[in-house]
Amino acid sequence: MNLTGKRVFAVITAAVLAGAVSTMGTFAADGLHTNTLVQESSASYRMTVPASGVGYTTSVTGSSVVAGESFELRVALKTGFQKQEPVVLANGVQLSPLEKDSTAHTYTYVIPEVNADAVFTVSALADTAVPAASEDSGKPQEENPDGFPVHYNGSSPVSNLTGVQPLSCGGLLTFKVYSKTAPQKVSCGNGAVSSVNAAMKAWDEKTQTSEWQVYGIASSSRSSDDTGIYAQVNGTTTRLFSVKLTKAPYTCDTTKNISLKSGKQYWAKVTVAKGTKVSYAAGNGSVVSTLVKNGGKPADLKDGNDTYYMGLKAVKSGETGLYLTVNGQKYCMYRITVA
């Protein structure tokens, strides 16, 4: 087997549970599976690992872990779950794989010096947004009687969205983050695919929630159409869900953010299907004022589409987005920085 990737030992950045830990299983659609390394003496530690779950199987080395020795976990992804890296947590702390085999679709995780018991959780992400066996995996999670999603226990941040969420190029997706303390940062893994805006609603201690928006970038200069959305809480980064870009119901000749000096104008050509209802606005009218040609009516073209010329005038220093609403759905075409 050819293993790729530089072998660099991972370091768990948060304290793991010390002392004896009772066996804890992981529930998956195909049952409760645990693979437990028994603590044989005070100098050994127990590692509790799910043997399998939706989209994956695991294997471990050795029958027990002596204090100070290394522990190795290998995750093999099943067909239909092989396009994205699995999410592996040890006592709620996300690990990075040391080795990846792209042919066998296996990932190897190593704890170099074990000094406490640990419970591992593993999640595999489906190649498509809604696999047949997990029809509701990408939908907002139901809340329990306390008002929290059923998959939230406070040990690590989660979102009301899970799995792979479709996101139109230029489209906006609103989501909640549940966490014990305020997130230090919520971001995406690939800035060429999407961007997370500043929090729409700041973290609330009572509800343990904050609200965010991610928008799909309409640039064509990217190698992938999907990326993960991550939350950083207390210095630890956790993957919340993924987004996969879909085609927007319009085209715009401006596919990158722009910069403009105050007083200058800029025009963009926007095309939609003939008869489509559209409107145009700036996110912050004090930064730019919007302009339209032909009284806001589409140009008289013969290609079966409606074409609009939508412009702006830079007013004062700041940053804002230019938004197109198509049949009631708002899209961010591009952003502008005024100097």
DSSP for 133-154, written as a single string: GGTTTTSPPPB-TTSSBTT--S
Amino acid letter for position 207? T
Which of 29-38, 256-265, 279-288, 289-298 has the least mean pLDDT?
Answer: 29-38
Q: With bands split at pLDDT 50, 70 and 90, how would you rate the model's confidence at 220? A: low
Residues 243 and 324 in one domain: no
Residues 230 and 211 in one domain: yes
- Which residue segment(s) compose the domain that 267 sits in? 251-338
Out of 248, 277, 302, pick the residue that ends a domain: 248
pLDDT at 309 over 90: yes
Q: What is the mean pLDDT of residues 47-59?
A: 85
Q: What is the pLDDT of residue 209?
A: 93
User: Distance between CA atoms of 287 and 270, rounded to whole angstroms?
Assistant: 21
Q: Take residue 52 and report the two structure tokens written for it.
A: 């399998």
pLDDT at 65 over 60: yes
| 219-228, 268-277, 297-306 — most confident range | 268-277
Residues 73 and 85 in one domain: yes
**Torsion 238-244-248-251 (CA) sign:** positive
Q: What is the pLDDT of residues 169-212, one digit of tens each?
A: 878 888 999 999 999 999 998 888 888 888 889 999 998 999 99
Residues 19 and 34 in one domain: yes
Contacts of 316 (CB under 8 A, 6+ apart): 262, 286, 287, 338
What is each CA distance from 241 to 116, 135, 223, in whole angstroms?
A: 29, 16, 20
Tell me if the pTM is above 0.85: no
pLDDT at 113 over 70: yes
Given the DSSP bridges, would you call strands 87-90 and 35-37 parallel, antiparallel or unpaired? unpaired
Q: What is the pLDDT of residue 210?
A: 95
User: Distance between CA atoms of 274 and 216, rounded to whole angstroms?
Assistant: 24
pLDDT at 261 over 60: yes
Q: Is 296 helix (H, G, I), strand (E, B) or coil?
A: helix
pLDDT at 251 over 50: yes
Residues 65 and 183 in one domain: no
Give yes or no for a contact between 54 and 63, defined as CB atoms under 8 angstroms apart. no
Out of 95, 124, 153, pick the residue that ends a domain: 124
Residues 4 and 79 in one domain: yes
Domain of residue 273, CATH code? 2.60.40.10
Residue 295: CB atoms within 10 A of its CB come to: 5
Query: Nearest CA to 142 among 160, 124, 168?
Result: 160
Number of domains in the chain: 3
| 115-124, 213-222, 259-268 — most confident range | 259-268
User: Distance between CA atoms of 4 and 99, rounded to whole angstroms?
Assistant: 6
Q: What is the pLDDT of residue 93?
A: 73
Residues 62 and 176 in one domain: no
Q: With bands split at pLDDT 50, 70 and 90, how would you rate the model's confidence at 300? A: low
| Stretch (H or E) spanning 160 | none
Q: What is the pLDDT of residue 304?
A: 81
Residues 230 and 276 in one domain: no
Q: Is 310 helix (H, G, I), strand (E, B) or coil?
A: strand
